Structure 1
Amino acid sequence: MPRLPRLNLIDIPQHIVQVGHNNLPCFFDDEDYQFYLDSLRNAADQYRVDVHAYVLLPNMIQIIATPRVPEGIPSMMQSLGRRYVQFINHRYRRSGTLWAGRYKSSLIDSDAYLLTCYRYVESRPIYLGLADSMADYAWSSFQHHANLALSTVIKDHRLYMALGDTAAARADAYRELFRYRFDRRLLEYIAETIKLGQILGGDVFKDKIEQISNQRVRPLKRGRPRKSAEKKSVAKPAVKGHDKSSSGNQAVKTLCDASNESATDKHTTTLETGV
């Protein structure tokens, strides 16, 4: 299936994922994690991107962010990737690539899915067995949202701020969101949108994005295109013993309307390990 164009629209949040080359580790000790976070903060400030949530995993990063200027996120990710790879290669005396190609991203319908994406990103360490609780994992934004430790990387989204009038009230309301486990279908849906570069949102949101970007955001239907014209009439062959001059030598129409198969394949694929 052809990749849809990657959209970068001002004030529309994105879910960003970047995976290590061949799923190999990208972080090797605490200093690496801290250097990446410091670089993320600097790049986000430089290119005017608001980072709302993140998790750094041994072989992957996931970020929820909103660009405030055109091309803010591509510029941030390019600068961040280059700076971090140089740091790792120098520190460990290695060379070559660190990431598995370009990052993947998906626009988010914030009113419907933003806080769900927060939960998705920050719960990754639990699903991967890296920590017993999200509060124990130092390299995600959960501690910030749960009012356990302030992050200088995070700029809170209006929907998080609407959870309460004080930091404590917002943290209590946010922790309540984690009381129930994710529905498996929702997990797969979020993972699939990232893998395929699709939009996380309903038809109304997708219509809005198509109008803003003047680009198609839905994948094309699979299969052969529908035939738009009938085949030309074919002359009926003469039958032996009949009068060739009779008016029975008529044309026979052959209708070739193709069936309109509109069923859409449903994918249940998930991303690389850990997504």
Structure 2
Amino acid sequence: MMEAVGYASAVIRTAEANPPHEMIEPHDQYVRLGRNRQARREAYRALFREALDETVVDEIRAATNGGFVLGAARFREQIAAMLGRRVTPVQAGRLPRKDAVSAGPNRPQARPRRNGSHRRKNR
């Protein structure tokens, strides 16, 4: 588990500033956390008591670094359709080789290599 520090701590300090900073207006979502300042403070701190699982953090990091969408398959498909582009990573490596049957009648089949005869000889 990772500890909730850094950004969350800075946000908590800003939200708990006493007196509140005159240039910072609390977000509506923050205001909805409680009826008064103390209730909001406690509710906000509770959001960060439990750390995210390493797997979740890794998924978020990979999606962010790769510029990909994070979410359920249906959500990713909807976003891809809206953007008209791929929003998930492709599997690394070469495409699987087509077998001789699917190569088609007009395509020559590759000859099997024998006994290393395909290698160039040293001159």
Which TM-score applies when normalising by structure 1? 0.29
Distance of 1:217 and 1:192 partners within structure 2: 12
Secondary structure at the counterpart of residue 230 of structure 1? helix
Higher helix share: 2
* Residue of structure 2 in register with 1:156 after alignment: 27
Select the residue among 24, 29, 39 that pairs with 1:169: 39
Distance of 2:70 and 2:36 partners within structure 1: 30
* Residue of structure 1 in register with 2:6 after alignment: 124
Partner AA of 1:124 in structure 2: G
Which TM-score applies when normalising by structure 2? 0.55
Shift of 1:205: 2.9
Please report the RMSD computed on the Cα atoms of aligned residues, expressed in angstroms: 3.5
Identity %: 24
Distance of 1:157 and 1:212 partners within structure 2: 28
Select the residue among 37, 59, 68 that pairs with 1:198: 68
Q: Deviations over 1:210-250 (max 9, x none)?
A: 233222211122333353972356xxxxxxxxxxxxxxxxx
Contact 2:12–2:45 (Cα < 8 Å) also in 1: no
Partner AA of 1:231 in structure 2: A
Distance of 1:161 and 1:200 partners within structure 2: 27
* Residue of structure 1 in register with 2:121 after alignment: none
* Residue of structure 2 in register with 1:231 after alignment: 103
Q: Identify if the C-alpha distance between structure 1 residues 201 and 224 changes in structure 2 by more than 3 Å, giving closer, same or farther.
A: same
Distance of 1:197 and 1:188 partners within structure 2: 14
Matched, 1:220 2:90: yes
* Residue of structure 1 in register with 2:78 after alignment: 208
Q: Identify if the C-alpha distance between structure 1 residues 209 and 231 changes in structure 2 by more than 3 Å, giving closer, same or farther.
A: closer
Higher strand share: 1
Using CA pairs below 8 Å that are at least 6 residues apart, which structure has the higher relative contact order?
Answer: 1
Contact 1:206–1:217 (Cα < 8 Å) also in 2: yes
Larger Rg: 2
Distance of 2:46 and 2:71 partners within structure 1: 23
Shift of 1:171: 1.8
